[in-house]
Amino acid sequence: MKALVCGGAGYIGSHMARLLAAHGHEVVVLDDLSTGHAQAVQWGRLVEADVLNLPSLEAAFAGQRFDAVFHFCARSLVAESIARPYDYYASNVVGTLNLLEAMRRHGVRRLVFSSSASVYGQPASGMVGEDHPTQPTHPYGASKLMAERILADAAVAYGLDSVALRYFNAAGATADACIGESHACETHLIPNVLRAVLGSGPALEIFGGDYSTPDGTCIRDYVHVEDLAQAHLQALDYLRAHPGAHAFNLGNGRGFSVRQVIAAASVVTGRTVPWDMAPRRAGDPPMLVASSQRARAELGWSPAWTGLEAIIESAWRWHRAQPW
C-alpha cells in the first residue's frame, strides 16, 4: 500500500508513519512544517505542502497513486482557537475540504481522520460513547465536528469512505524514544509535568482545583500514541468491508485527575513535580473519559498501553533524551 500521511511531521502523524513503514507500506508525508519537525520524518519522503495552498496540494498528489490518506494536519490548541477562530476553521475545515477535493480528483477513496473527544463538549457524566450529544464548547472542537459532517456528506455524494477517530488524551512516546511530543508552545499536561521536573519548563500550573471531581482537578483518559496509530491501521482495514463514514472513540476507559498524573510522574521520575494552583482554563470539561466499546467491537482494537505509569515512563524517556 502507498499511504499519504498528512501532518506526518507532527506528534501522532510521525508515529503513524513509523507504524505504516513497519508494516511494509510506502509512506509519503505531507506537512507544511509549521508545527511539525522535519527530523520526525524518518519513514518516508517529505513533501512540504500546505492544505490551504491548492497548488502545493495538487503537486503532492500529481503522478502518485495513493491507496489511502491519513489526515493529521490541524491546529489543535483550545485557547488559541478561542482567540483566533478563523484560523482554526480555515486550517481544520477548509484545509480538510481541500484535501478531500484533491483526493476526489485523484481517485483516492479511503481516509482515516484525526478527530477529537472535544466534539462532545461538556459531557453530562460518566463514560462518553459515540452516541453522546456532540456540543463542542470551543472552535477547535467545532472545527473537528464540522469536518466529520463533511466526511459523512462526502461518503454519500462521492463514495469517499472514512473513519473519524475521536482521540481522548494522546500521550507517551515510542519505547526507543526516537520520536515524541514536541510542541513549540506546549499546553498538554504530561509534557508540562515532565518539563517542570526537568527544569526545562516552569513549575506546572494546575488549571483549577475546584471542579466537581473527587480531588477537585480535571479527569482525563490518557491513551498511548502508539495505540492511536495502531487504531488507524485497523480503521483502514475496517473500511475495506464497511464503506461509508464512521466515527469511533479511542481511549483507555479509565480517568485520571491532574493530581493523579502528578503523583504518577513523581513515582516514574523519582522526583518531586513543582506545581502551583492556577485558575481554571477556559473550555475545560471536568471529566472526559471514553467508552471505546465500539472501537473494540468493530475494529478489534484494544490498547496495549493501559497503565498510566507506563505511558508517562515512555514520555519521560523521550523527554530526558532531548537537548532542552
Please report how close the Cβ of residue 134 comes to ligand UDP at its closest, in angstroms: 16
Q: Cβ(87)–Cβ(75) under 8 Å?
A: yes
Instruction: Indicate whether 256 belongs to the interface with ligand UDP (CB under 6 A).
Output: no
Active-site position among 11, 89, 140, 211:
140
Angle at 201 between CA 200 and CA 203, to 5 degrees: 125
Instruction: Indicate whether 189 belongs to the interface with ligand UDP (CB under 6 A).
Output: yes
Q: Cβ(234)–Cβ(19) under 8 Å?
A: no
- 140 in active site: yes
The correct pick among 174, 192, 292, 314 for binding ligand UDP (CB under 6 A) is 192
Rounded Cα distance between 235 and 111, Å, is 9
Instruction: Indicate whether 143 belongs to the interface with ligand UDP (CB under 6 A).
Output: no
- Of 181, 170, 175, give the one whose Cα is nearest residue 317: 175
The correct pick among 2, 106, 149, 188 for binding ligand UDP (CB under 6 A) is 188
- Of 254, 263, 267, give the one whose Cα is nearest residue 307: 254
Rounded Cα distance between 142 and 119, Å, is 6
Phi and psi dihedrals of 37, rounded to 5? -130, 130
For the chain, the first-to-last Cα distance in angstroms comes to: 38
Range 76-115, binding ligand UDP (CB under 6 A): 78
Instruction: Indicate whether 195 belongs to the interface with ligand UDP (CB under 6 A).
Output: no
Instruction: Indicate whether 284 belongs to the interface with ligand UDP (CB under 6 A).
Output: yes
Closer to ligand UDP at the Cβ: 16 or 258?
258
Q: Cβ(249)–Cβ(291) under 8 Å?
A: yes
Please report how close the Cβ of residue 221 comes to ligand UDP at its closest, in angstroms: 9
Stretch that binds ligand UDP, among 38-46, 91-99, 136-144, 205-213 (CB under 6 A): 205-213
Closer to ligand UDP at the Cβ: 59 or 198?
198
Pairing mode of beta strands 68-71, 110-116: parallel
Instruction: Indicate whether 258 belongs to the interface with ligand UDP (CB under 6 A).
Output: yes
Instruction: Give contact residues for ligand UDP (rule: CB under 6 A).
Output: 78, 169, 187-189, 192, 204-207, 218, 220, 258, 281, 284
For the annotated catalytic residues, the residue numbers are 140
